[in-house]
Amino acid sequence: MARKRASQRPSHSSDSSSDSEGSADEVQIGPGLYQQLGTAAALRRPADFAVACWELAQLTRHLFKRCSKALQGQLAEDMLLAVECCDGRLQSRAALAGLVEAAERALPQAKRAALQRKYRESGVALSRRQRRGGGAAGSDSDEEPTDFSQLPLDAVEQVFRHLDPITLARSACVCP
């Protein structure tokens, strides 16, 4: 069996027809190349959050052990950012759970513990926000609803700047 494993290992010869796994051992990914991906910016945008989490999980699963310490630090920072930026949507929470699972396998113990602690805290905070927002106490039911035409233009632009396509479509279905 050891012989079979040895034959499956990538050869480091000058053969240009080697598989992609063999070349991944030889390639060092630098922090500059990772920054070009724009993962941190994508994690902050609700529309791109799930895809960015999935990409970060794939990078963590397949490249974390092979990359430089600086890049490992950036990946760990982006994982913490993902935990902070996760909203209550099911798709976002599922993507974050996949990222945390990948991080549990790849991160060193101290960073893994910090990520797990932050993940638990964000879950508790999310459930508290949902409980507070779901109740009828403190609602503004006595006030007349405001139309977009009554709001200043800069306020409307600010609102639309923070809406992702999914939320915008949901609000279009609900609002008359």
How far apart are the C-alpha atoms of 85 and 89, rounded to whole Å? 12
DSSP letter string over 120-151? HHHHHHHHHHHHHHHSSTT--TTSPPPPGGGS
Instruction: Give the per-residue pLDDT at 45.
Output: 87
The pLDDT tens digits of the residues spanning 53-93 come to 999 999 999 988 888 888 989 999 999 999 988 887 888 88
Q: What pTM was estimated for this model as a whole? A: 0.58
